[in-house]
Chain A
């Protein structure tokens, strides 16, 4: 509760300092979002040629893509620049200042900055979801919406966990951003399409090892009522919130291990 109150103090000041840059601030939203238009165009070009891939039609593939983008953007608002800042602090030696404040450094890291860049993504994603739902003639009821939100939260936690885990590498490796880019942008890219189209090995990896499948593929099976296409066991689509919680817990442990290393306990 105290942290929420602090957050409410921090964010207006953050925005005030950013909006001082004027025009550039608004361009941040637009610029980031434009790249997604290209991606949608690729899906459109691909799908208008093949009609369906692996039983998923164009709007369904777009939903898969959009869910990946939406959940990543939400997670990134709270973690992306924040973890970047941490890396820079560790590199420059200014990370100490987080350790002399009477706040859990993890919370401090989150609240001291805000990824407004990603707000544009969120807006586009929500518009695209609405568009795809209407094209597919989906009319979820209230209970379905509640379930959808639970799945989304799980997916956001998964995305956040990966940002935190890869970012925490800076406590061990000097320039960790390379690691971060490979994992986040490389492997996450696989989840832009239904993972059922990939080879068995890749499916296992994306389900059990680096479980990006839970970000969009398994939730989509539920939302889009994709029976028969289930991978491994049939209840996996329900597992997203649990996977999210577990993964985020692991991420927090990794962060703490990183902090311990920084403080020189060597654990």
Chain B
């Protein structure tokens, strides 16, 4: 049985229509108009124990809403969520014992208290046995480097320190699942790397299932075995990163510097070059690597021009996601890979 089961999940919000101007405002005091906004529309998936899933999508796509329903903070409009066999919003407290959550920029620690006291309160709140607490503190403290700031009040911490403390607090009670809503937002590269290492370590050592939302594609690349992409409340892609790259990342860009002025030729277009751009001596050619390979292109060009330098760039993950989002507006049906 999968750890998390989400079936036909839907969430609508009723939002009051806002109006500008004096009379419309007066009118709205007596008679309120509401509009329905669908935040999550018919999403289904399952997650097994030990997976690290990246849940991505543009702002307002419905990522946080889905996670809040999985945590039990929000009640679905229709559809079902089962976590560990429990319905989260009906068994919120029971569910809470077995999960950890970090919500981006909002700390869940006690603002005015030193980190170590906050962590100790967490221990009491979750009834963590003393030896387990010590063990976890030793392990987490080491990876996250808590020692340097554990006696500092939470409000005086830097963003990176606070995030590290929050992560530690969210995992102290050995949860089965941890939900991380943008855990690396606004952090420098060093801290990001530290946090990723921590997530990997916890996943490896404890088998903790990790579900994270992010805008940082290197989080996805370095952590996630599986990616789910949502847009406009719909699940557009669910599968592993390699497949995503193969399906959407097949465009390559060749960049060459030529002695002569490069002139675009029909022969190249027939070969499958989809676009070209020439700026002084530098030319960029874009093509689908499924249709032609770079050696055919470079051979054709070297026969006609003297090439000083060239390089071939694969599509970066950001680009893939951008293509994916752009593709959604045209393509109605989501691409879905069947998970084994």
Binding site for B on A (CB under 8 A): 2, 5-6, 9-10, 13, 16-18, 20, 92-94, 96-97, 99-104, 112, 260, 263-266
Contacts and interface: CB of A to CB of B under 8 A. Distances in A.
A104 to B, nearest CB: 7
Given A18-B112, A104-B93, A264-B11, A99 B121 contact: no
Interface residues of B, number: 32
A2 B126 CA distance: 11
Contact of B125 (A20, A101, A264, A266): A101
A263 B110 contact: no
Interface stretch (B97-105, B196-204, B265-273, B276-284): B97-105
* A13, A16, A94, A102: most-surrounded residue (chain B CB, <10 A): A102
B125 A97 contact: no
B125 A17 contact: no
B195 to A, nearest CB: 19
B89 A263 contact: yes
Contacts of A20: 112, 153
Given A20-B112, A99-B71, A101-B125, 19 more contacts: A9-B120, A9-B121, A13-B110, A13-B113, A17-B110, A17-B153, A20-B153, A94-B106, A96-B73, A99-B72, A100-B72, A100-B99, A102-B96, A102-B126, A104-B93, A263-B73, A263-B75, A263-B89, A264-B13
A188 to B, nearest CB: 27
B93 A102 contact: yes
Contacts of A266: 14
Given A17-B153, A104-B93, A97 B103 contact: yes
B106 A93 contact: yes
Nearest to B118: A13
A100 B103 CA distance: 10
B19 interface: no
A17 B75 contact: no
Contacts of B127: 2
Contact of A264 (B75, B106, B110): B75
B136 interface: no
Binding site secondary structure of chain A: helix
A96 B68 contact: yes
Contact of B124 (A9, A18, A99, A112): A9
15 contacts: A13-B110, A13-B117, A16-B113, A16-B117, A18-B112, A94-B106, A96-B106, A99-B96, A100-B72, A102-B96, A103-B93, A104-B93, A263-B75, A265-B75, A266-B14
A264 B113 contact: no
A266 B14 CA distance: 10
A159 B106 CA distance: 32
B297 to A, nearest CB: 51
Contacts of B113: 13, 16-17
A263 B125 contact: no
Nearest to A267: B75
Interface of B: 11, 13-14, 68, 71-75, 77, 89, 92-94, 96-97, 99, 101, 103, 106, 108, 110, 112-113, 117, 120-121, 124-127, 153
A5 B75 CA distance: 31
A264 B74 contact: yes
Contacts of B92: 99
A184 to B, nearest CB: 24
A100 B71 contact: yes
B110 A112 contact: yes
A7 B106 CA distance: 24
Contacts of A264: 11, 13, 74-75, 77
Contacts of B68: 96
Contacts of A104: 93
A13 B123 CA distance: 14
A41 to B, nearest CB: 36
Contacts of B97: 102
B125 A99 contact: no
A244 B94 CA distance: 31
Contacts of B77: 264
A97 B117 CA distance: 18
Contacts of A96: 68, 73, 103, 106
Contacts of A5: 124
A66 B189 CA distance: 60
Nearest to B154: A17
B125 A103 contact: yes
Nearest to A21: B112
Contacts of B106: 92-94, 96-97
A9 B117 CA distance: 10
B93 A97 contact: no
Nearest to B112: A17
Contacts of B99: 100
